[in-house]
Amino acid sequence: MMKLGPLVRVRSVEPLQGYKVRVAFENSTRREIDLEPFLRGPIFEPIRSSPVLFRAMKIQGGTIAWDNGADIDPDVLYYDLKPAWMEEAEVVLA
């Protein structure tokens, strides 16, 4: 199991082109991240299929969230980890 550093939460998010966002974390780190790989599964389907819904993101509980209850783990974003669906697929293939 990979050991992560301190927990870092999202302070702000700005939608860019496509599924890309500019994220500012509480420790002042800023990154441009493509969220497309994270938008998998039934809860993300409306967000993935509607640019308007995608851009309606907000910060809730220190992470990027949407009104339908979808969110993305801030540690996954900060530490550039694989989305959960990719890890599950690797376990199935192993």
Question: In the predicted model, is pLDDT for residue 37 greater than 70?
Answer: yes
Report the pLDDT value the prediction gives residue 83, as an integer from 0 to 100: 77
Report the pLDDT value the prediction gives residue 10, as an integer from 0 to 100: 97
Q: Give residues with Cβ within 8 angstroms of 71, minimum separation 6.
A: 60, 61, 63, 64, 65
Question: In the predicted model, is pLDDT for residue 85 greater than 90?
Answer: no
Q: Rounded distance, CA 44 to CA 50, Å? A: 10
What mean pLDDT comes out for the span 66-91? 83
What mean pLDDT comes out for the span 25-39? 96
User: Judging by beta carbons within 10 Å of its beta carbon (0-12, 13-18, 19+), is residue 21 exposed, middle or buried?
Assistant: buried
pLDDT 10s digits, 47-70: 999 999 999 999 999 999 999 999
Q: Which CATH superfamily groups domain 10-93? A: NE0471-like N-terminal domain (3.30.2020.10)
Is 93 or 59 the better-scoring residue by pLDDT?
59
Rounded to 5°, the CA angle 33-77-67 comes to: 85
pTM above 0.85, yes or no: no
Give domain limits for the chain: 10-93
